Amino acid sequence: MGELATEKHVRYILSVEKRKDNFESVVMEHLRINGAYWGLTALDLLGKLDTVDVDEVVSWLMSCLHESGGFGGNVGHDPHILYTLSAVQVLALFDKLDVIDVDKVTNYIVSLQNEDGSFSGDMWGEVDTRFSYIAICCLSILHRLEKIDVEKAVKYILSCKNMDGGFGCTPGGESHAGQIFCCVGALAITGSLDLVDKDLLGWWLCERQVKSGGLNGRPEKLPDVCYSWWVLSSLTMIDRVHWISKEKLIKFIIDCQDTENGGISDRPDDAVDVFHTFFGVAGLSLLEYPGLKPIDPAYALPVDVVNRIFFTK
């Protein structure tokens, strides 16, 4: 088996930030804050966060902040809860949470909780359990979880639980590994994992591992490196990660590297991107691959960052 091409991935991530001339990077412009979170967290896991100009990133982030307290995906774009979490996560990485008005960001998130406990993504009312996770994760990082109705939020998430033990976007929605990460993560952060059917969900999740060693996100779908994160973090949170073969999954992720130019792709020999590079590295971190910083499965931030948030006076 090959090894993780750490240096090349670092170089690749740094180059993505600069590259703005091809079609793909323009298409992704509206979610640049997500990109920053993926790239920077991957750099931190690889031990190379210090190669980044912190002030430059932070001042750009702040230019995406709206009066409402929400962040847009890039300068000029509308605020949305999706980008607000990424912004808060990046600030947490740099230990720079003091640059934002915490109450204002909190109010923005609190204003998005609906009567039934669910969360809208923004003022236009799309409801999804992804947004429940985001709200809970974000407020927890800001030490403001008590500002929302946690009990109702948990109840809504449970209303999205399916016969296979997994969770969907809304009640009745099909289980999907990404959605399961969101729901299990939200339940983990609110101390409610006793409400998860761990053995049933664990079986569904471990059956995501296909012959090649990779993980898919739903039954009878192709494996994809991003599920190394969604499936693995969920299995880790419910303590069932030993139900898959770690060796085979490590091999699959390593096989998806571009050993020439750096970066990790969804499947071997596909085009790389920063999203899959992050999820590949994060997956390897959960698999305790040597040389990587450990990542927290619920907050999707390095463990030392989470510990700094909760165990520092």
Task: Please tell me the distance from the alpha carbon of residue 121 to that of residue 105, in angstroms, as a whole number.
Answer: 14
Asked if 122 interacts with other proteins (CB under 8 A), we say yes
From 46-54, 63-71, 85-93, 238-246, span contacting other proteins (CB under 8 A): 238-246
Residue given tokens 């494996």 in the structure block: 223
Of the two residues 48 and 208, which places its CB atom closer to other proteins in the complex? 208
CA 140 to chain centre: 15
Of the two residues 53 and 67, which places its CB atom closer to other proteins in the complex? 67
Q: Taking CA 30 as the corner, what is the angle to CA 55 and CA 108, rounded to the nearest 5 degrees? A: 75
Asked if 273 interacts with other proteins (CB under 8 A), we say yes
Tell me the three state secondary structure of residue 242: helix
Binding mask 49-88 toward other proteins (x if CB under 8 A, else -) reads: -----------------------xx--xxx-x--------
Of the two residues 53 and 211, which places its CB atom closer to other proteins in the complex? 211
Exposed, middle or buried by CB within 10 Å (0-12, 13-18, 19+), for 19? exposed
Residue 58: half-sphere exposure toward Cβ, Cα within 13 Å: 13
Cβ within 8 Å of residue 240, ≥6 positions away: 198, 199, 201, 202, 205, 206
CA 262 to chain centre: 21
Instruction: Restricting to residues 23-42, name those near other proteins by CB under 8 A.
Output: 23-27, 29-31
Asked if 125 interacts with other proteins (CB under 8 A), we say yes
Instruction: Restricting to residues 126-185, name those near other proteins by CB under 8 A.
Output: 126, 128, 140, 145, 162-164, 168-170, 172-176
Of the two residues 94 and 131, which places its CB atom closer to other proteins in the complex? 131
Asked if 209 interacts with other proteins (CB under 8 A), we say yes
Of the two residues 175 and 228, which places its CB atom closer to other proteins in the complex? 175
